[in-house]
Amino acid sequence: MNSYDGSSSARGHARPTGHSGPTGHSGDGGPGFGGDRHWQATGDGMGGWPNNGGGYGDQPAAPRGSTSGGRASVPTASASVQSSSASGAASVPPPAGRAGVGRASAAVPSGSSSSGRASVGSASVGSASVGSASVGSASVAGVAGRAQVGRASVGSGPGGPGGPGGPGGNGPGGPGGPGGRGRSGGSRPKRTRKRKLINWAIAGFAVLVMVAGAGLVGGTYYTTNVVVPDQVDLPLATTIFASDNKTQIAKLGEVNRTFVSINQIPKYVQYAVASAEDRKFYEHSGVDYVGIARAAWNNFTGGDKQGASTITQQYARNAFDNLQGVTYARKLREAVMASKLNDEYSKDQIMEMYLNTIYFGRGAWGIEAASQGYFGKSVSKLTPAEGAVLAAVIKQPQPSETHKGYDPGYNPEAAQERWGYVLQGMVEKTWLPPEQRPTEYPTKSLKPLPKDGTCFTDCGVNTPLGNVINYVHDEMIGMKIPGCDAKSCSQLIKDGGFKIRTTIDKNMQNDLQDAIWRKKAGSELAKQPKNIMAAGVAIDPVHGRVLAYFGGDNGTGHDYAGKNVEGGALTGGHAPGSSFKIYTLAAALNNNISLDSRWDATDYDVPGTKIKVINAGRQPSCAKSCTLRQSTVSSYNVPFYHIADKLGADKVIEMARNAGVTTMWTNNPVKPYDLTNKNTKIGESDPFYYVVGYGAYPITVLDHANGLATITNRGVYNKAHFVMSVEQKNAAGAWIKVGGEQLKPKQTIRQDVADDVNDVLQEISGGLPGGRPATGKTGTWELNEKSSDNAHAWMLGATPTLATAIWVGNVAKEQALIDDDGDKIQGASLPKDIWKRFMTDALKGTDVDRFKPGTHIGDKEAGNGTPVQPQNGVCFPGDQACLAAQGGNAGGNPGDNGGRRGRDNNGPGNNQPPNPNTNPFTIVPPPGG
């Protein structure tokens, strides 16, 4: 089946702020380790303001120690130097240089965050003044600007210690030249009136920004209709598991995200994120107005572009498409949304939404996917050290052109430095006791970077189990899961966040692939000609669970084991040949025909037609007195034609339908018929003719395996299925079952009928190693009416606990099936080799189960043959001694299941040599057949 790959929908997507793809980053860009901004990506992703503020995206600010433009008039002899918002005069946010007044200088240590004052010489760091010196101008220059007061300046490099004649910054009088003459310590000089006015003006500007911002937010709050998160549908990845509920088969979705509730996220992980992105998160009302004022002033003065987005604002911007872009209107809407979120939700709820939304790199959206991607474990099992790694990553998960980001796989030094910054913040905020602060970076538990081509979403589609996804899709529609109908289920599976447990047994699946997959070294197909393809299905007969499935290399190509839609037409069937006789035999027994009944097995010309039914060029020694048992084991065609003629084709097809065959194709023209549809009538005037008795019409491998499983289960039908359970998380983050298998066993074939079929089929397979009983039936269908080569070859066989169907055919256009030794491929050759190898491996170490004995029901006189009296040295047809002599299923040579260099169950037998000019299977049926 190749129906996967439903169209995507425009749903609410969480994506990294500042970038449309996984290379972006989300976060406010907090200070670097040690309290200073040693690197800052100042685009809108960092909460920067537009126009005079930062751009949108990964736009890094200048590193520490550089200078950038911007001036501000500071008409006093005072300059405060700080790394964050604090009291003082002209704000110089990042590391300061030195302040010189006249020819004196005051050194200010790099990274200082003091908000006190300092006079030159013995004055305190923060302002420098000399008497009532008149003030020139002050420029606030980027990370380390310059402030000019007369001849005073704030240098661009780290300053030396203050004091008389102490060394200055990197400017004149710094380490590269003589130190300026410091002013002797003493009382602080008197402020001038002009200086006070400027200070009041600066404070007023900040207050104005805060008041205006709060006012605009407040006004817009009541006039704007803004949706809240319960109206946002974030896509969540769906994971499909094997029956052990641990082995991942596939992961589907537009993004790799698994939702987790706040209760599943350790508190220290939450605190680590707050420490990295918003240390006032638990204090502010969703918008940090002080931070906005600081950023606005700094941007207004031309300084380093700063951001002020809180965690709440970041979530709003990531979750809602209408909050993207670089405008004041967008920032206002973001603030409104943050305020509403803060009113509508608790801090824990906001943190939960945020941590399930943001991008962490490595293809991981949300904290759970990130935990799996970085440490291979659930977030609930993270240590404080590991949680801090993930928190540190948020600022920039992946490398950009200007910075390598904070994934330790790309940039270990920066990642560890920011890790330390996160932990230090946790200690400072009393979120982490100092004695519990990790001292060792969790390198040992950290996973390496994913290899190129690593699958994050839609994983498993391009594997043999990709075909299982299509069945999962169809079964989920039948479960009536809300929102999962024929039109929308493809998309819902991709972003609905389901956890689906399938019936696939991981060990049996591996055993089947080892035996049947060409790409597996040592498989039965590994050295076969390239045109040869194989498919196989193994089913648990008791429950109908598909335990192993192989329909091809991947789920996007042709499924050789199931149905396909190609060019609008339903395809996928293969002519089953003699393997279909299990249903004809069951139909005969169901209509009181005994295994001991005798039938005419000689060539038969159908009256009124040009049809001649033959036995693959063989002339059976039992001639006109072959028992039904012998005809089954030796796979004679003529008796099965007579049975279908006697019962009617509809009775044979009805038995196949009862067993589990759902679809059958006619040959000319090729057309599928739904056997489960009550409107599909089968009769003499309908498209299927009596040649159905020996397998003229194509069916799928899956249906054939299901039919065999029903007979194996003593006539109790269980629909073959792939899904055991479907779970989805509720609002509390707990997994709840929303769908699953609905076992409805039904006795569709009489128990005594099934027992007699199993009784005779055990004579064909010869059993498995260790004396394990097994049923079996082979089948072939020839290439065309002019060729004796085969185009399809089958082996069906089962134990009471495992029923398997194997088909071998062509990849594309039908060709003769010739193996690597140049021999004709038949049911008892390559298909049987695959079947026996798989069954032996799959059942290794399990108990030996036996079938119930047959009851030998039916009328022995129901056949059209005549009894033959035994003669000396001649066996009586139907006796066990006769069966081996006749060559049988695996011994008939060339038979429809002929011998192959001694590997067959029986010897070469006494069958007649083949007639190369005859074809027993592709006899042209009446029109419509």
Six token digits for residue 555? 């789920």
Q: What share of the chain is helix, strand, coil (3-state, %, to 5)?
A: 30, 15, 55
**By the 8 A CB rule, do 94 and 55 touch?**
no
Six token digits for residue 522? 């040592």
Written as one string, the DSSP assignment of 413-433 is: HHHHHHHHHHHHHHHHTTSS-
Q: Going by DSSP bridges, is the β-strand pair 663-667/723-729 parallel, antiparallel, or unpaired?
A: unpaired
- Rounded Cα–Cα distance for residues 263 and 707 (Å): 48
Residues in the chain: 929
Q: Going by DSSP bridges, is the β-strand pair 256-257/364-365 parallel, antiparallel, or unpaired?
A: parallel
Nearest to 865 by CA among 694, 638, 644: 638
Greatest CA separation for the chain: 141
Nearest to 516 by CA among 486, 479, 553: 553
**By the 8 A CB rule, do 701 and 561 touch?**
yes
User: Cα 479 vs. chain centroid, distance in angstroms?
Assistant: 21
- Rounded Cα–Cα distance for residues 38 and 26 (Å): 18
Nearest to 525 by CA among 807, 899, 765: 807
**Using H for helix, E for strand and C for coil, what is the string for 199-262?**
HHHHHHHHHHHHHHHHHHHHHHHHHCCCCCHHHCCCCECEEEECCCCCCEEEEECCCEECCCCH
**By the 8 A CB rule, do 9 and 233 touch?**
no
Q: Which residue has the tokens 């010189």?
A: 100
- Rounded Cα–Cα distance for residues 290 and 436 (Å): 32
Please write down the long-range contacts of 815-820, taking CB distance under 8 Å and 24 or more positions apart.
Answer: 815/531, 815/783, 815/791, 816/783, 816/787, 816/789, 816/790, 816/791, 817/532, 817/789, 817/790, 817/791, 817/792, 817/793, 818/529, 818/789, 819/528, 819/529, 819/532, 820/527, 820/528, 820/529
User: Cα 70 vs. chain centroid, distance in angstroms?
Assistant: 51
| Alpha helices, DSSP H, located in 536-606 | 581-590
**By the 8 A CB rule, do 557 and 570 touch?**
no
Identity of residue 48: G
The DSSP symbol for 59 reads: -
Nearest to 903 by CA among 894, 890, 913, 892: 890
Nearest to 795 by CA among 814, 784, 808: 808
- Rounded Cα–Cα distance for residues 775 and 247 (Å): 31
Burial of 212 (C-beta count, 10 Å sphere; 0-12/13-18/19+)? middle
User: At residue 419, what are phi and psi to the nearest 5 degrees?
Assistant: -55, -45
- The catalytic residue positions are 277, 578
Rounded (5°) CA angle 624-626-630? 160
